[in-house]
Amino acid sequence: MKTKLFYLAMTIAVILSACKGDDGDIGPQGPAGSNGTPFSLAQGGSIQGTISGFQSNGTPFNNLTFDYKYYYDQDMFTYQSWNLQYRFQFYRYPSSNMQVPGSCNISFYLNPLTSTQPTGFNFYGWFLKDLGNNQTFSFQINGSGNSFVVITNFAYNASTRVATGTFNISVDAWDNSTGYPATISGTFQSNPLVEYVFRKE
């Protein structure tokens, strides 16, 4: 009896699924939505400088300049209670338009916060130079961990929460996209930094 009821239910379900009416007329078009606001990066602080080195084919280049003034995330420093250090980090981009390629990231440590000599300074970046004839040279530094870095004129203002400094980096061949050594010199200035505190349990 249960088997017959099951087959009866299945038959009814198949019949009902096959009974599909015609689609109705398309309804009237709704009102147009408001125009969206174009998204753009904010401007403040900067990472700027000059790069010299070699292209991947061994051709030397000089004076690849950059001046990145736009940001997305807030500049920040984090107090790490387990090692009593402050880690600073900020990013900059070449344009308010996110479609424009290029980026730069600086990070370093201070211990104590009043120190004038950062440690563990690391520099990442993607920089481009127009070579003409529809050619663009792309230079990427994948971090300055193996490179020789000198930081001078560093200051962190506790009142304004702004960090400034000058850097000179002898970029190791392994730290950039060309496979040749390069040099980068420039300056940085943060926006007022936001402090975050994380404590290890």
Phi, psi of 58 (to 5 degrees): 95, -5
Tell me how crowded residue 86 is: count the other CB atoms within 10 A of its CB.
19
Number of helices and strands in the chain (H, E): 1, 11
- CA-based diameter of the chain, in Å? 92
Where exactly are the structural domains of the chain? 42-198
Kindly list the distances between the CA atom of residue 59 and the CA atoms of 20, 95, 173, in Å, as whole numbers in the listed order: 71, 28, 15
- CB contact at 8 A, 79 and 57: no
Cβ within 8 Å of residue 124, ≥6 positions away: 103, 104, 105, 141, 142, 143
- CB contact at 8 A, 132 and 105: no
- The predicted model scores a pTM of 0.77
- CB contact at 8 A, 125 and 118: no
Structure tokens at 89: 């980090």
**pLDDT at residue number 2:** 45
What is the dihedral sign for C-alpha 89, 167, 125, 96? positive
**pLDDT at residue number 197:** 73
Q: Kindly give the confidence (pLDDT) of every residue in the chain, 201 residues in length, as a single tens digit, with 9 standing for 90 and above.
A: 544 444 445 555 555 555 556 666 776 776 776 665 667 999 999 999 999 999 999 999 888 999 999 999 899 999 888 888 999 999 999 999 999 999 999 999 999 999 999 999 999 999 998 888 888 999 999 888 789 999 999 999 999 999 999 999 999 999 999 999 999 999 999 999 998 876 555
